Amino acid sequence: MNPTPRTSADSDEHFVRLFSQSEPSLRAFVRSLLPSWEQVDEVMQETSLVLWRKFSQYDPETPFLRWACVVARFEALKMRRRHARDRHVFDEDLLALLADEAEENTDSLERQRHALDRCLEKLPDRQRRLVCAAYSDGVTMKEVAARTGCTPTSLYKAVNRVRGQLLECMQRSLQEAHP
């Protein structure tokens, strides 16, 4: 466990380090609560501001991600209240249930994300670029196929093979880490 920072600069650096490490899992948690990426971005921004402002109250004995999820949950509830008239908004009971379940899965999802990162690093460059291109925001498989000079069908098959390799690698990695 890192010692409690002594200066404001140490505290700032400590916060940035903890937040940066937790941000992908925190974003996944917020995404599980909200229907649109725009709302996720807005809640993430508000959450990061609240975490920054209240960092002096953070108890280092508590996992930072767990603390951040509690704050994010309240920010998502605020978002829900602001958009309460929208028919695509979950009611508060369902949102609370989703938040509870997502919090329970945070550690497992974090382990899976790290395993995926390690497995992606092991892929040959060509396969890694193919998967990254296929999963880029705002890009269709048809566009990726045109850029790579193959048919959409052959691209789907190639991506599916790589996904299978990644899944096997992740399962092995997770099994080795937690037998």
**Ordered DSSP codes for 30-44:** HHTT-S-HHHHHHHH
Full domain range(s) for residue 77: 1-110
> CATH number of the domain that 164 lies in?
1.10.10
pTM listed for this prediction? 0.51
Domain annotation covers residue 3:
yes
Structure confidence at residue 107 (pLDDT): 73
Q: What is the DSSP letter of 123?
A: S
Domain co-membership, 18 together with 100: yes
Domain boundary among 82, 110, 138: 110
Structure confidence at residue 85 (pLDDT): 58
Q: Report helix, strand and coil shares of the chain as percent, to nearest 5.
A: 75, 0, 25
Domain boundary among 58, 75, 110: 110
Structure confidence at residue 89 (pLDDT): 53
Count of domains observed in the chain: 2
Domain co-membership, 92 together with 34: yes
> CATH number of the domain that 49 lies in?
1.10.1740
Q: Can you give the pLDDT of all 179 residues of the chain as single tens digits? A: 444 554 667 788 999 999 999 999 899 888 888 878 888 999 999 999 999 999 999 999 989 999 999 999 999 988 877 766 555 555 667 667 777 777 777 777 778 888 888 888 999 988 888 888 887 767 788 888 888 888 888 888 988 899 889 889 989 988 887 76
The tokens for 24 are 């992908």
Q: Other CB atoms closer than 10 Å to residue 147's CB: what's the count? A: 11
Structure confidence at residue 1 (pLDDT): 44
CA–CA separation, 90 vs 73, rounded Å? 13
Domain annotation covers residue 118:
no
Among residues 179, 169, 64, the alpha carbon closest in space to that of 112 is found at 169
Domain co-membership, 155 together with 179: yes
Structure confidence at residue 55 (pLDDT): 94
